[in-house]
Chain A
Amino acid sequence: MRRLLLVLATDVRRHLKSPAAILVFMAIPMVMTALIGIIFAPRTEGKELPPIPLVLVDRDKGLASKLLLGSFDVDRMKKMFQVTVADEAEGRRRMKKGKASAMLVVPERFTLDLLEARTTALTVVKNPAEQFLPDVVEEFVSTLAVMLSGAVQAFAEEARGIRAMIDRPIESFPWDKLGPELGRAQKKMAAAEKVLNPLLLGLKEEETRAAGAKAQVTRTDIFSMMLPGMAVMFLLFIVQTLMRDIVSERQDGKLRRMMTTPLRPLELVGARLAGGWVMGVAVLLVMVAVGTLLFRARWGTFGYFLALAAAASFWTAAFFGLFHALVRNRNQAGAFAAPIILAFSLFGGSMMNPEAMPKAFLAVGLATPNRWFIDGAALVRDGKFPALSLLVLAGSGLVLTALAVPALRRRTSV
């Protein structure tokens, strides 16, 4: 046991002397979490999307198109849309540069068609490189079109009067006959006001939560949800890096020399596995500390999390112990380890929220440590004890250890 601890301590000291690779692997989850958190975390209250850049092409240049443009100038619309008036070529250029999600084209004769109550069409040209925002523009313009249609029908007679005024010379217009017309319009306005101010029919929006559903996520929640997935992914990378000594020492003859000392193969195997385990726990705890300091991430009850970290590190050390007993040389270890870790991470939910993943990916994910660690960390965050995750990680870790120890012992007894 003393010799085992001696080897373990020497290994830890040796790795801490050249920590560049470990530090880079520890930096990656932090950088990735920061990047994804900045992009996907909820922003200001009630506004989850940035203002949608929209180009308005006014081919009409009449009263109606000016009114339409004006409708985008109210405060609520300004928060939703960032409108630029330009011609079609400029709009297309902006879309190509990713500076416009859509282009709204107001056709020629738009004002005249409305005044004559003739069918007309607004065109929404959508940016083909974008997936979400152009549809929002289309839906908004559709609602605007319905409102315009209603207004045109309600004031069709008055609109015809205005239309007649436009074509006639001022001196030939029968101003004396306008009195009754204006009176009728006034009555309509008064009737419309009863319906529109306040709205006779409106919506009172409310966001609800199903019984047992979680509260809406904050930026801290996003960081807290992402970090465990990232942490376990890079725990795998780091422990794999540390445990590659098993192969390197065999390959470069160090192992043969070590075996000339009173050290027994089982002690060396034990030291290597324990080293991976201890370093794994330490790495996870450092990531927890950094995540808490940088992102104010919540981890839940520390004792529960420590147990989960210990189980995950134990599994990782046992797995890479077995892995390094099976591979022939360092190159082979390098070639297979990274793909295995990335596959674990992809299926296990380290790279994407498991809720968004296809079912087949989720099913495969159950065979990965990432999935059990992420699920366990979610339970710990909610104040629950991650019994199932611990059981699976520790149980399968024990099986892996039982397979790894004899295999490693065979490879160590050179």
Chain B
Amino acid sequence: MRTVKRVLHVAGNDLRLMVGDKAFFFWSLVFPMLFIVLFGLVFKSSGGAPAVAELTVVNLDEGRWAAYFLDKIKSPTVELKVVGAEPAEYNRLIVLPPDFSARIEARRAQALAFKKRENASAKAAARVETRLYQAIARVLGEIVLYGDGDLSKFLDGHAGFRDIVRVESRFPENTVTAVPSGFDHSIPGTTVQFIMMMVIIYGGVTVMEDRKKGVLARMLFSPLSKGELFQAKLLGRWGMGLVQAIILFVVGRILFKLDLGSAPLALLVIAVFSLAMAALSVFIGSLCRKEDLIIGLAVLLANIFAGLGGCWWPSEIVPPGVRTAAMASPAYWAMDALHKLRFFQGGAGDILLNLGILSALAAVLGAVAARAFKVRD
């Protein structure tokens, strides 16, 4: 009991010193918030594309079919801009040639020129293209229904197209009901990334400095053993990661209505992840003798882990090989667990594997760090 008290005392003191530092405020709140806003907005804009995708129609048709075809393209998500000649500026453009009607009535095949600007939104282009294919399918369907009759009289009266097969879309039952926002992706990602960065840099540098300045050696004059000192250092850095996560989650909740699914389980994931990072920070701090080297290693590791682990971009756009390699990143297991909790409203059973792997990592890193931990150079 006394051992626990001593360890908690030193760890609490370490945490108090770190939280009292002005730079802690920047690292734990200001800078992560900048990241959250930037990535939240970027995910939102690139993921959502424009609400209404514009399509410029160069209508040169001399007959009646153009109006009928354009009517089929109309949709709340596609805005038609009909012009008489190809403009210099457009995002997507379709040309209805002068003999558009004549060719249809003569049952002669034609391919309409559909031009897409390379730098325009790919998602908006895909939406317009889908709509165009659907319109073509409707027109062709009605012509097939019309049979062998004279197509010049088609527009005077024909059987209408019925959407017999409809498409309904939804999310899996008992998961989310609304499309998650960009911030739902960016807040957990940024939190995980900054826990890695902050805990390794701060935790590593302070372990190194305390050793170099002889603080660790002096602490052994107290009733603390070397093992207890290691535990205290580990606990202090673990607490730092937890405090940072709590700050970001609370601010995320207030400013961006962050929903973590199960908040206690999300915190449990972060707690185990922070423990692994705390062990890594003590390990790096015990090995390195230069502050700059620790900062460099922390930035390198945190960025690689964050990039691979899905903290910066949705893993769905990542090539399969990189997705497999991502499993080597602790951030992947934390992000995967947070996704299961947030997007699938998962429970403890769903994240057992993630917790197991992160715990094993924490245990291994803890053992390695305990072995490397030294009080004197």
Contacts and interface: CB of A to CB of B under 8 A. Distances in A.
Contacts of A35: 304, 307-308
A237 B296 contact: yes
A188 B319 CA distance: 46
Interface string A139-152: 11111011111111
A156 to B, nearest CB: 9
Interface in B133-167: 133-134, 136-145, 147-148, 159, 161-167
B235 interface: no
Contacts of A124: 167-170
B140 A195 contact: yes
Interface residues on B, range: 35 or more
Instruction: Name A's interface SS.
Output: helix
Contacts of A146: 133-134, 137-138, 141, 163, 165
Contacts of B122: 48
Contacts of B295: 21, 237, 334, 338
Interface string B163-182: 11111111110011000100
A141 to B, nearest CB: 5
B367 interface: no
A343 interface: yes
Contact of A119 (B34, B127, B142, B166): B166
A118 B164 contact: yes
B152 to A, nearest CB: 15
A148 B166 CA distance: 10
Contacts of A28: 296, 299-300, 303
Interface stretch (B107-115, B275-283, B358-366): B107-115
Contacts of A358: 37-38, 41-42
Interface string A180-211: 00000001100110111011111111111111
B116 interface: yes
A211 B127 CA distance: 25
Contacts of B134: 142-143, 146
Interface in B202-244: 205
Interface stretch (A128-136, A283-291, A394-402): A128-136
B336 interface: yes
B23 interface: yes
B333 interface: no
B183 to A, nearest CB: 12
A216 B118 contact: yes
Interface in A200-237: 200-211, 213, 216, 237
Contacts of B170: 123-126
B16 interface: no
Interface stretch (A91-99, A273-281, A294-302, A379-387): A91-99
Contact of A148 (B129, B139, B164, B313): B164
Interface stretch (A36-44, A70-78, A366-374): A36-44
A336 interface: yes
A67 to B, nearest CB: 12
B318 interface: yes
Most buried by A among B26, B172, B342: B172
7 contacts: A32-B303, A35-B307, A124-B170, A129-B342, A202-B112, A203-B111, A335-B21
Interface stretch (B6-14, B250-258, B264-272, B285-293): B285-293
A203 B116 contact: no
A162 B21 CA distance: 79
A147 B47 CA distance: 28
Contact of B143 (A133, A200, A213): A200
A278 to B, nearest CB: 19
Contacts of A361: 38
B99 interface: no
Contacts of A95: 172, 344
Nearest to B170: A125
Contact of B141 (A118, A154, A198, A357): A154
Contacts of A148: 164-165
B297 interface: yes
Given A119-B164, A143-B130, A210 B42 contact: no
A126 B307 contact: no
A49 interface: yes
Nearest to A99: B323
A304 interface: no
A329 interface: no
Nearest to A333: B291
Given A133-B316, A143-B137, A361-B38, A123 B118 contact: no
Given A200-B140, A338-B201, A117 B164 contact: yes
Given A35-B307, A39-B313, A119-B164, A205 B172 contact: no
B374 interface: no
A194 B148 CA distance: 9
A173 to B, nearest CB: 26
A390 B86 CA distance: 40
Interface string A43-68: 10000111000000000000000000
Nearest to A200: B109
A337 B234 CA distance: 26
Contact of A128 (B112, B167, B171): B171
A258 interface: no
B132 interface: yes
B317 A49 contact: yes
A269 interface: no
A207 B180 CA distance: 32
A164 B180 CA distance: 47
A151 B143 CA distance: 11
Contact of A150 (B119, B144, B172, B342): B144
